[in-house]
Structure 1
């Protein structure tokens, strides 16, 4: 997969492909026409038939009967039906039929013509409810059924011994097809966002070559053993030695957060991990990127094991949503800090709707030295970020972005000058619906410093903070501030702007009444910022 991404990126760099959105690229019309002409004109065994995106309503039988076609594309048309019988198409190895939204059925005899077929793509054929027998496609390497919204059942697949890529996501299937345990050549399996309820224990361990597994979004999924017992079977999935990419949702009631050393080592070896525990209705599916990322989401957890460090080890971002006893999680991390060491891969921490009672002891070193992004929403009993930073020994030296939303006890973001001397990397600050916050940046009066600079701060957004009086009262400067957004902060009467900021500020957004009531040391300053105002 990484090699494929690298090829696409190279083609983009050469302007042969254009980036469209996160998971899509397109080819320029002229380059496409030339490519189609070349591939259709080749002599020998590599000739292609391309009839994609031209509004076809049906497929002509005689077009496919050429003995020289190897790749055939009828994608992105308006075909309602396919020929029932074609004869023999022995050379065709690739058949692309995706994005024929009006196609409602694949005739039973149609696929029998393609005995050498290696790639079959029916993705986004949203009218298909079932497929004909596939067992004669013994050369098939890739079967792609992504976003076939009406697909309800699959035929047996045990005869597809050479199948390496099987994508069947965003469909209505509730059970795996028969013969899944026989797909020993399978390398990529995507069964995400279906309605699967049961996977028989032993199914995953039979695919010894499996490298990529995605079973997210099957919120009623159980792994059912022979005796009827229910288990998450994390052990079975991770027993695949070649597995490097894993995306999975696990029901809270079926999961224990205790892990053995063996499993910890296997989790470490994963290149990409997205693990959601307790998640029943999660975020939309994201296309896999080219970078190694490990994400852990924990929803509604209230029973924590003694060994919870595995949640953080090798993880790039972690989310706690509606979890009880979060303080105990960090308490255990601190208590085991000598054994755990620095969790230097974690760069993003997200906390939603959790309680906080504090941690009794402090780490002797920065446990999250590479933390870049903190997002905290509805986190009770936190007065400032130091409540979290002190126990974990955080220096926040790499922090780039911080967000507080709906934190009722928050008094200020941070106090600078003693424990945290500066935040050199900080670029973005966003505070919203924090009723008690009075000041964003405090300057510690016990500091030996005359002033503190936040050299890279670019954006400050403040919304619905009715008691906010200052962004900073004294001794903190923002030499590269670019944007200030203020909404429903009636007591905020001063902005930390000087003549130095005139050349850097690009936007000041807020209510006209608020702007008119701002207080300035020099009224000329106010005039200087008029060109960048966006008032409403």
Structure 2
């Protein structure tokens, strides 16, 4: 249930007589056979089901509090209405409120069936400052929305059936936030330029909006010069399905308009070509990037009908601007354009997907990645190694998260000498589906990973050990002192984990799945006093042998106690998620 709150500050003379009270509006739905979370309706309630009456609206409007459940009301809401108009003692307030369902998932389901916005709310609630209709099935907004003269925030996230905004949106002169992320509209009306007080605009555009454009009198998907008129705009997020070339002309208009937005601090934009990135940042990248506290640029043309195999939550991590303020995604690229390296100097997050020529991440310049904390590499078929160092140097020292997915020809993580301090701040490292990878860690690199807390290695069929002792041969020391979680999944050639090195004294969780040649473990690999769980196949655990003949019975009993079996028949991801 979404409660919309406001403390309106009306400046127009027509509304000086309105008292400044708190206002609430709850919009959801209730199905016709309502035996929902609030229970069945008493018999005397049946005749009163439906939208609240005009008399009730007027009385509640005086109190500036309205609770509405779509087209029908739960019994508890009717009781609340009666209390508000004096028919129920105030002493019952706590009991009534406790009966109103508050579970967010349940409320999302209830809201989802709301098909239209009841016109009465925009006629009778002119004092509202916030309206949130997110994740409902509304397919239009009423013309009477223009009556919400005090409205400051209009939130329409994830409304899958809403395709356009009415021209009356331009009359909401006090609007500061218009948030339509996940609601793919065909176009923005030209009246959007009248919202001179708008400070935040988040919009998602339908992937085939150009087809709509050809069949209507709409000149552009985003009206020309509309953004430049929004001089107070400090947050602009435009999402678009990258289908076809229709977006090229639209984004050129946007880039031209951005130069006049002096207060812009947050920007998310898809740029089909590196030339457009160059037009945005200009010759001197220092002119735009310090002003932008947060940005996400996606550069490069997406292949039509291409379905990414990357898990949704991994890409969402890249888009977390609160965690990594400035980020660049470069997709389907060739070579190393200066526009990319110029932008990369300012980035804390870098996402490289399907680059066709790069053989190592080092080609982008170690000096250009000094600020990068998050790096996601996906399907770069020519990439053979991450770090290619010609001499011993400290590189990627700021990097905290490194995720690698589907690297067809990658053979090693590092090639050449490794400087002390290289990758020393890495906290989370994951490799998925690297069929040519033979070398994961050298001893020198392993010694740098003092902050690594999580390690995942999955579907790397040539890996026989996580640690290569060549050429060093060093066997002493304690490695991976911060490691808490390790997952080794589908490594059919894996014979040992650490080549006898003592690792992970703080290990809490170990998962080993389909590693048939890992027939022995060493106590130095599971010596942590913090170990809480080991997951693996029953057959593997029962046949497991230990390198040390002096493994105590108490230790063996402890390990058996914390072991949790995994099965190949069930959903592996669900089993891994369970504690």
* TM-score of the aligned structures, taking structure 1 as reference length: 0.75
For residue 469 of structure 1, the aligned residue among 490, 495, 505 is: 495
Is the 2:501–2:524 contact (alpha carbons within 8 Å) kept by the matching residues of 1? no
Is the 2:227–2:254 contact (alpha carbons within 8 Å) kept by the matching residues of 1? no
For residue 397 of structure 1, the aligned residue among 412, 424, 431 is: 424
Distance 1:384 1:127, change over 3 A: same
State the shift of 1:193 in Å.
5.7
Q: Are 1:455 and 2:481 an aligned pair?
A: yes
State the shift of 1:110 in Å.
6.3
Which structure 2 residue ranges, 5 or more long, are not aligned? 6-17, 31-48, 74-106, 211-220, 567-579
Show the counterpart of 1:534.
Answer: 564
Q: Are 1:178 and 2:190 an aligned pair?
A: yes
Q: Are 1:385 and 2:413 an aligned pair?
A: yes
Q: Are 1:247 and 2:273 an aligned pair?
A: no
Distance 1:251 1:75, change over 3 A: farther
What do residues 283-304 of structure 1 show as CA deviations (whole Å, max 9, x unaligned)?
5879977556233222222354
State the shift of 1:191 in Å.
0.8
For residue 406 of structure 1, the aligned residue among 419, 433, 437 is: 433
Show the counterpart of 1:210.
Answer: 233
Is the 1:299–1:320 contact (alpha carbons within 8 Å) kept by the matching residues of 2? yes
What do residues 455-475 of structure 1 show as CA deviations (whole Å, max 9, x unaligned)?
111222111111111111133
State the shift of 1:188 in Å.
0.7
Greater mean alpha carbon deviation, residues 120-129 or residues 238-247: 120-129
For residue 496 of structure 1, the aligned residue among 492, 512, 522 is: 522
Show the counterpart of 2:163.
Answer: 152
SS of 1:63's equivalent? Answer: helix
Distance in 1 (CA, whole Å) between partners of 2:245 and 2:453 is: 44
Is the 2:439–2:463 contact (alpha carbons within 8 Å) kept by the matching residues of 1? yes
CA RMSD of aligned residues (A): 4.0
Q: Are 1:190 and 2:202 an aligned pair?
A: yes
Distance 1:67 1:461, change over 3 A: closer
Give the total of aligned pairs.
Answer: 473
Is the 1:211–1:245 contact (alpha carbons within 8 Å) kept by the matching residues of 2? yes
Show the counterpart of 1:271.
Answer: 293
State the shift of 1:373 in Å.
1.3
SS of 1:179's equivalent? Answer: helix
State the shift of 1:178 in Å.
2.5
SS of 1:191's equivalent? Answer: strand
Higher share of residues assigned helix: 2
Distance 1:268 1:223, change over 3 A: farther
State the shift of 1:239 in Å.
4.5
Is the 2:199–2:232 contact (alpha carbons within 8 Å) kept by the matching residues of 1? yes
What do residues 179-198 of structure 1 show as CA deviations (whole Å, max 9, x unaligned)?
12222211011112645542
Distance 1:501 1:514, change over 3 A: same
Distance in 2 (CA, whole Å) between partners of 1:499 and 1:407 is: 24
Show the counterpart of 2:454.
Answer: 428
Is the 1:477–1:496 contact (alpha carbons within 8 Å) kept by the matching residues of 2? no
Is the 2:480–2:503 contact (alpha carbons within 8 Å) kept by the matching residues of 1? yes
Correspondence list, 1:46-445, <5 A: 46=21, 48=23, 57-66=50-59, 69=62, 71-79=64-72, 101-106=112-117, 111-114=122-125, 117-135=128-146, 137-156=148-167, 157-192=169-204, 194-195=206-207, 196-197=209-210, 198-220=221-243, 231=252, 233-237=254-258, 239-252=260-273, 255=276, 259-277=281-299, 278-279=301-302, 283=312, 291=323, 293-302=325-334, 304-327=336-359, 330-334=362-366, 337=367, 340=368, 343-344=370-371, 346-354=372-380, 355-357=382-384, 362=390, 365-387=393-415, 395-417=422-444, 421-445=447-471
Distance in 2 (CA, whole Å) between partners of 1:189 and 1:437 is: 48
Show the counterpart of 2:42.
Answer: none
